[in-house]
Structure 1
């Protein structure tokens, strides 16, 4: 139980190392006799194979930008319209697949710039140039990925893994000696717990204070009153909830939402709420706040 509690403590605090929590999770999975579940942990630590399937939270929205020029003018970082392309081709460039390890992603987001660039080979210039007027030609083209979107990967991994270990602890029970955990988990379908938390349509809302968490299943897809009531119970002001409702409506037709990612307005709202956790104007631990908000919104949208 000590190892399980250490993982929960690490995942509940943004100050604790996510890599450390993942490594301890590997030890835990071996200890309870479920080595087959280590693959996801290894992929997050080492990166995903390019010929394998990525979790949806690692497929991010991207915008195609280009430097353009004609006989008279030069235009830099200009959005390229893609409406003339087939949906399959558009998705290839508007959906960025992030195969890198968490350590690499952390380094990529460490710089001050707010975006990442993924170069697009020159042979595609002709395809993108078909929508341009006034004699403009493409000099360079790339996909732009917001670092805030990349940062959501860390929140997703932390939140989903926290869902699993909390559910596992609840089913094992409190104050179980470490040597008894394996025996307790023999009667638990740990594989399903893990799959539902990490990959499935998980409707678990994780709330709590420090080492005490309550788990409830109360938010159905599209049920904003239930979402609002849940947030209100955990100290979020009605004015902030109204702002969230406006943000959700603003984002409802955005590319990000179609790709099962939070839209720009909701991301701004999330950042504002997390800043309240930091400056203590919202009395909740930062790590718990990020898990609470991200998971609650995913449940509202009906995302896995």
Structure 2
């Protein structure tokens, strides 16, 4: 079984599910709870409110809509992190990839787009606004979200593969005839102690980043938005797919045809329309969550303008 796992891990085009499952069987047979639990979590995913290995933390870029007054919007601005304390900053920047390996590999494939959006909720926006205004900001914050590329998911897959391969190679080096030794009733306690030591040496552990900030929407929006630059029909089709009413679609279509974005963001007409749509999301007349709504609108508009 050890040689089979090594062969599977050595082929980076092979899904990690199979070698992880084989390792799970191996861990169960020898009674190694630490290895069994680690592999199970890599297969099934980690508790989003619990601890997660450091290698499953991804780099992100935070953005938000900054509102200076009722009529002035700055869309898709980098979130000014200097206004917040370290706890809030770490809660925003430390994106935890807690999904099971199959879901991670699916996102890493890029089939659904190369960018991922994680929106936060309106309650989180309100908290950020309070903190920012305490530190002198004159604007309100909404549509807070982080964006990351699928390469972060590819990196996680590579790190899991590398750690598991390192472990299995070390086990093979220490016990070249492991299966025979197990059949000959060699002490499983000794083997398990050795495996646990190896896991510690190569930092295979579920200890790591705990939950920092849980406020917000846990949905992930994959940005597989099919809008061609300047193509009004694909622009309207994408909005229709996201349940925007025909009346609202016609309104924004007439705006984008005649209005170009400014140096600091979208034009006044677009920002006014977005404000109306976010209000509809809040009061339920547009059946989509406010955090998701803002992310979708910004991405569709950016695609149309070629930004």
- TM-score higher than 0.5: yes
2:52 is paired with a residue of what secondary structure?
Answer: coil
Q: Deviations over 1:177-199 (max 9, x none)?
A: 73434645744412211232343
Q: For residues 149-298 of structure 1, what are the structure 2 equivalents within 5 Å? A: 149-173=152-176, 176=177, 178-181=179-182, 183=185, 186=188, 187-188=190-191, 189-199=194-204
**What residue is the counterpart of 1:113 in the other structure?**
113
Instruction: Tell me: CA distance 1:84–1:135, structure 2 relative to 1, closer, same or farther (3 Å).
Output: closer
**What residue is the counterpart of 1:10 in the other structure?**
8
Q: Deviations over 1:228-269 (max 9, x none)?
A: xxxxxxxxxxxxxxxxxxxxxxxxxxxxxxxxxxxxxxxxxx
Size of the aligned set, in residue pairs, is 196
Q: Deviations over 1:248-302 (max 9, x none)?
A: xxxxxxxxxxxxxxxxxxxxxxxxxxxxxxxxxxxxxxxxxxxxxxxxxxxxxxx
1:134 CA displacement: 9.8
Give the aligned CA root-mean-square deviation in angstroms.
Answer: 2.7
Name stretches of at least 5 consecutive residues in structure 1 with no aligned partner.
201-304
Bigger Cα Rg: 2
1:83 is paired with a residue of what secondary structure?
Answer: helix
Q: How far apart, in 2, do the equivalents of 1:31 and 1:61 lie?
A: 37
**What residue is the counterpart of 2:51 in the other structure?**
53
**What residue is the counterpart of 1:267 in the other structure?**
none
Q: TM-score, normalised by structure 1?
A: 0.57
Q: How far apart, in 2, do the equivalents of 1:84 and 1:42 lie?
A: 40
**What residue is the counterpart of 2:124 in the other structure?**
124
**Alpha-carbon contact 2:104-2:157 (below 8 Å) kept:** no
**What residue is the counterpart of 1:19 in the other structure?**
17
Q: How far apart, in 2, do the equivalents of 1:63 and 1:52 lie?
A: 23
Name stretches of at least 5 consecutive residues in structure 2 with no aligned partner.
206-307
Instruction: Tell me: CA distance 1:102–1:115, structure 2 relative to 1, closer, same or farther (3 Å).
Output: same
Q: TM-score, normalised by structure 2?
A: 0.56
